[in-house]
Amino acid sequence: MAKKKTKQPAAQHTGLDDKVEILSAGEVVETAITDTLEQNYMPYAMSVIVSRALPEIDGFKPSHRKLLYTMYDMGLLKGAKTKSANIVGQTMRLNPHGDAAIYETMVRLSRGNESLLVPFVDSKGNFGKAYSRDMAYAASRYTEAKLDSVCEELFRDIDSDTVDFVDNYDSTTKEPTLLPVTFPNILTNNTLGIAVGMASSICSFNLEEVCNTTIALIKDENHNIKDTLLAPDFAGGGTILYDASDIDGVYENGRGSIRVQSKWEYIKDGNLIEVSQIPPTTTVEAIMDKVADLVKQGKIKEINDMRDETDKHGLKLTFDLKRGQDPEKLMAKLFKSTPLEDSFSANFNVLIGGVPKVMGVKEIITEWLAFRTECVKRRTYHTLKGKKDRLHLVKGLEYILLDIDRAIAIVRETEDEKEVVPNLMIGFGIDEIQAEYVAEIRLRQLNRNYILKRIEEKEQLIAEIAELESILKSESKIKRIIIKELEAVIKKYAQPRKSDIRYGAPQVEAEEVEEIPAYPVHVFVTAHGYIKKITPQSLRMSGEHKLKDDDTIVQQFETTNDAHLLFFTDGASVYKARAAHFEDSKASVLGEYVPARLGMDDSENIVHTVVTKDYSGFLLFVFENGKVAKIPLASYETKTNRKKLINAFSDKAKLVKIMHFTGNTDVVLISTVNRALVVNTSQIPEKTTKNSIGVQVQTLKKNQTVKSVVTLEAAQLENHSKFRTKNVPAAGSFLKENDIAQQLTLE
């Protein structure tokens, strides 16, 4: 066993259990380190876990709950705002931490800070901004605050014995252990907490969606929550890149990663980009620092200037672009390499009965329903007890009604005031509580009408008591009460989503790092999807290529073994591989069948293959409707070794041909009516969205389509200038026999 020597005073018990006598100081006592950890560290760790860092089922940490209850106790739910310093000082009766920590808690809960989707503190003054690292909040003596109106839902039943109260740290007052929230607040606000050996990170969801999901689960416990709870919703907005597997992980297990992208807009008049919303995990300053770094390194060359123009109207980060730059291409680069796109790591760790537990969304709502059901039962029992007590008093008045004069006589004839209650008890056969109530009635109230009105309460009280007792016995009635409360919350406090949802976001896979030898090879691709990778030496020694009877070689490349191969299919997908993934072959064999090797769908066929080492250049996708999409090849480069990309190009129109160029080139489009159009690829604007439908290049009449496209060099037109146009779209000119080289034929 490991031993640790510590200096501590020797002690001897004097016979009294609560007193220890120090005999000498400085004596070395051997102590097992495990005992030290158990006696000193474990209590600290448990205190942090249970009493500080992790939220409970009401959605609050102890520091939040103490602050909000203090404000409620100060009358700040209905009253006017008061200085924040006053609130901080009052909160110290419940929270013995320093004033700075308490004020920082209040800042985060405030509307002005914009940290929470559902803020609880109505603030006045500078409370800073969650999206800014340098925009500090003002001191507590300058700002004012009160509880926001939504806090009515936190304290609605707190005086009806719905939750337990305990002594504060010095037993001078009481504080609630939980707040009886009428909606699942645990899911409507993001909560971050770092304990000892564990942490919690809960993302926020839209209030209306959470309440609707809870109502649906009450009605049907097998409800699919994805139908009503679309995705997280952050206070700062942004665009959520929806990934079904990540969302399923968060909803089912309470763990997962939510990718969030900034919202931006291109202002054409000023040639600038304005970013108005950023992910919740970053700040404006962090983004600017990273962009400035990339500009210094020469990785970003499209930006002239960058400014933080945030004002009272909200966040605004501006990028001035150089002339001729594509904003979509720039933003794609920035999303890839800066916090303009970031991930929120979810870890739904919640304290349930003092025990930390990681739960999915459905399990959290189920736990909240159990908690809220108990609150409703306790409130109902509290109300029932009050009604029964009132009924008991009213029944005492019934006896007085029978003979008011006799009651007056008993009071008048009693010599000692202390004997009035006992004499009334004897005279009318009522108990002490009823007699005390009768004795307290003022003389002016001893008239028949007053007593009759009080007795009229009896039937109403009996009916109310019966209803309350039926609620306590009926789970369905309690559920209806909870549903009614949730519907009221939706009606009063529902707000539209702040975060947009973009479906079809690409899945991130783990990157594989491998060393590949880069020796020269020749790559041959056949019409039927076979591939051969042959070294120059082997090719020189080989004879004719062996192919299937009806197969031909459609593409061949001189490259190296580490090159990237991109196989575009007629299913609008692209499959990626390295040349090294295929075995070195010979001309005398058929080669490897690519669809089987890469796991393509049975219905997919390869329409074009691109070989690249650095993803330079661009692709032209020419469609039958005369549109052409010019996509940078870099758009298909991924940080991870993904085998397949869907939506590789647009499938809105039939594809005629894919062409890969590293520089601008003249191409010839030929329509079904033999109109030819010569266009330089520089005339076609570049798009970063892979499945862009492109721009109209050749105009076509009804029932006309583009039938072929070739490079101008391959076309060998005799007089190509008459087929060239300065502007697109254009129809082109008709081909004649003397214009056409042997490579082109008229149908």
> Catalytic residue numbers?
142
Provide the 3-class DSSP secondary structure of residue 86: helix
Degrees to nearest 5, angle at CA 485 with 480 and 486:
95
Contact 71, 122 (CB under 8 A): no
Contact 527, 591 (CB under 8 A): no
Beta pairing, strands 627-632 & 592-593? unpaired
Provide long-range contacts, Cβ within 8 A and 24+ apart, for 713-716.
Answer: 713/666, 714/743, 715/668, 715/676, 715/741, 715/743, 715/744, 716/741, 716/742, 716/743
Q: Which of 53, 91, 280, 81 is nearest to 189 (CA)?
A: 280
Helix ranges, 220-309 (H): 244-253, 284-296
Distance CA 188, CA 123 (A): 20
Instruction: Give the contacts of 695 (CB within 8 A, at least 6 positions apart).
Output: 627, 628, 629, 684, 685, 728, 729
Distance CA 259, CA 238 (A): 10
Q: Which amino acid is at 721?
A: S
Alpha carbon 457 to its chain centroid, in Å, reads: 53
Burial 687-718 (b: 16+ CB within 10 A, else e): bbebbbbbbebbebeeebbbeebbebeebebe
Alpha carbon 539 to its chain centroid, in Å, reads: 56
Structure tokens at 611: 């070989």
The count of C-alpha atoms lying within 13 angstroms of the C-alpha of 301, restricted to the half-sphere facing its C-beta, is 3
Distance CA 361, CA 253 (A): 8
Instruction: Give the contacts of 463 (CB within 8 A, at least 6 positions apart).
Output: none
Burial category of 319 from C-beta neighbours within 10 Å (exposed 0-12, middle 13-18, buried 19 and up): buried
Distance CA 310, CA 265 (A): 15
Provide the 3-class DSSP secondary structure of residue 693: coil
Q: Which of 527, 600, 531, 605 is nearest to 563 (CA)?
A: 531
Burial 264-275 (b: 16+ CB within 10 A, else e): bebeeeebbbbb
Structure tokens at 514: 């491998």
Virtual CA dihedral for 511, 517, 523, 526, nearest 10 degrees? -40
Alpha carbon 531 to its chain centroid, in Å, reads: 45
How many residues make up the chain in this entry?
747
Distance CA 10, CA 27 (A): 6
Degrees to nearest 5, angle at CA 196 with 44 and 356:
100
Contact 567, 574 (CB under 8 A): yes
Structure tokens at 350: 């919640």
> What are the backbone angles phi and psi of residue 23, rounded to the nearest 5°?
-85, -45
Q: Which amino acid is at 673?
A: V
Contact 690, 648 (CB under 8 A): yes
